[in-house]
Amino acid sequence: MNIFYIARHGETENNRAKRLSGWIDTPLTETGLIPTEKVIAKLANLHIDEMYSSDVGRAFITAYAIARGLNFYKEIRRLSGLREVNYGDAANMFSAEAYKIYPQLDRDTHFTPPNGESLRHMQQRVFETINQLNNDHTDSNILLVCHSGVMAALKASYIGQDFGEHNIGEAYPHDFVGKFIFENGVVTSFVEFLG
């Protein structure tokens, strides 16, 4: 059985400014990788067999820093299926402004912003990607470096909560590490991993 670990990318300029990013990229802040040091410490005693990252720069840069910290020398494979939700026309807006214009954004699982995707579609995309990884590997410790929305999609499914309801509130912190099991297309376990 594969065991998955999931870490969030470092702090970005848009995170600090409280702007939505989604599929657009935004640079890490000057101190953006400091939380990543805590991620490395949590994972330090664990053997990672495979590492995958969202193909968005903020996630891959964070994955590279984690790989160096863990002396992981295999390829970090970038997957578009691990991206955050596509906010479409709401991307790069201040969060407060985006929620005024699109009150359903981040709350209604079925709402699709113009030129974007719904939370439901994003959750399905993520699950298809993880299901493929689960089929490609056997008895491996697999680290995913991606986004808060991906973590929320997994946790919501595990606890049986609507993704939109679970997504309301604060994002997962930049030093969060989750541990989960994915079997037969479903999340059967999801806990915070403290090392």
Q: How far is CA 8 from CA 24, 78, 82, 110, 151, in A?
A: 16, 14, 11, 24, 8
Q: What angle do CA 102, 166, 169 make, to 5 degrees?
A: 65
Q: And the tokens for 176?
A: 């969060």
- Please report, rounded to a whole number, the percentage of residues in the chain having pLDDT higher than 70: 99
> Which pTM was predicted?
0.96
Domain ranges of the chain: 3-192
Q: And the tokens for 26?
A: 């935004």
Residue-level pLDDT at 106: 76
In the chain, how many H helices and how many E strands? 7, 6
Q: And the tokens for 113?
A: 């912003």
pLDDT in tens, 55-80: 999 999 999 999 999 999 999 999 99
* 42 within 8 A of 30, measured Cβ to Cβ: no
Residue-level pLDDT at 178: 98
Q: Return the DSSP state at 183.
A: E
Cα gap 76→183, rounded to integer Å: 23
CA nearest to 163, candidates 116, 114, 115, 126: 126
Residue type present at position 150? V
Fold (CATH) for 3-192: Rossmann fold (3.40.50)
Name the band, by pLDDT with cuts 50, 70 and 90, for residue 155: very high
Cα gap 170→38, rounded to integer Å: 19
